[in-house]
């Protein structure tokens, strides 16, 4: 069975939140980032890496006692892609699928994460390109799983995130239909946080 590593992107400075680090805002019993990383560690993935940058010590402290590997990204200000690349460089060599998580989507469910992993394992072939992602309301969403065959292309990729790379490999894509659009809401502003946070 192919091994899956999750890369959680927790390095950004969340400019639209002002001075507040959105990942450290309260969510249920913990913080946004801890809640999301707990979902990752409870999933069927084999390894969870958390890429740190902005306020790295505070984020790391918020994740104490969780079974994760921390990766420092000293150039996190260059954007999301630099964090993806930093994570890729530290992934276990045995890993055959890499699931990229945004750190600010606390509504993602454990069942969805496991559905994506299940579809990757079902369709995986060792030398074959494979991308597995959720689709809701006709829109491709995160998290995305890339097969290890994309390693060099992701490391060489220019731009912000992997959207262009995904679009250019539609023939390698498995889309997983999801009905609940609320699951993909992210927290970018204080107003969004107040609307989304649990009662």
56-77: per-residue pLDDT in tens?
A: 999 999 999 999 999 999 999 9
What CATH number labels 3-196? 3.90.550.10
pLDDT tens digits, one per residue of 97-134: 999 999 999 999 999 999 999 999 999 987 899 999 99
Going by C-beta distance under 8 Å and a sequence separation of 6 or more, which residues neighbour residue 81? 157, 158, 159, 160, 161, 162
Higher pLDDT, 94 or 196: 94
Q: Does position 161 have pLDDT exceeding 70, yes or no?
A: no
| pLDDT higher than threshold 90 for residue 17 | no
The domain spans of the chain are 3-196
Residue closest to 98 by CA, chosen among 130, 51, 76, 59? 130
Residue 157 has pLDDT above 90, yes or no: no
CB contact set of 12 (below 8 Å; sequence gap of 6+): 53, 54, 76, 80, 83, 103
**pTM for the whole thing?**
0.94
According to the model, what pLDDT value does residue 14 have? 65
**pLDDT-based confidence at residue 137 (cuts at 50, 70, 90):** very high
DSSP letter assigned to residue 61: H
pLDDT at 152 over 70: yes
What is the predicted pLDDT for the residue at 20?
82
């Amino acid at each position: 069975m192919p091994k899956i590593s999750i890369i959680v992107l927790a390095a950004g400075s969340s400019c639209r939140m002002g001075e507040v680090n959105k990942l450290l805002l309260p969510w249920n019993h913990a913080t946004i980032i801890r809640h999301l990383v707990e979902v990752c560690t409870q999933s069927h993935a084999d390894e969870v890496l958390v890429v740190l940058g902005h306020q790295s010590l505070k984020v790391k402290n918020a994740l104490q006692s969780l079974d994760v590997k921390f990766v420092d990204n000293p150039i996190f200000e260059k954007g999301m892609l630099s964090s993806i690349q930093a994570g890729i460089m530290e992934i276990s060599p045995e890993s055959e699928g890499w699931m990229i998580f945004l750190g600010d989507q606390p509504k993602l469910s454990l069942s969805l994460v496991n559905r994506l992993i299940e579809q990757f394992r079902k369709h995986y072939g060792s030398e074959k390109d494979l991308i597995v992602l959720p689709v809701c309301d006709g829109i491709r969403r995160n998290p995305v799983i890339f097969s290890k065959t994309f390693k060099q292309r992701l490391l060489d990729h220019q731009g912000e995130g992997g959207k262009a790379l995904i679009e250019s490999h539609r023939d390698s894509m498995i889309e997983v239909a999801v009905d609940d659009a609320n699951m993909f809401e992210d927290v970018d502003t204080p107003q969004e946080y107040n609307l989304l946070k649990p009662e």
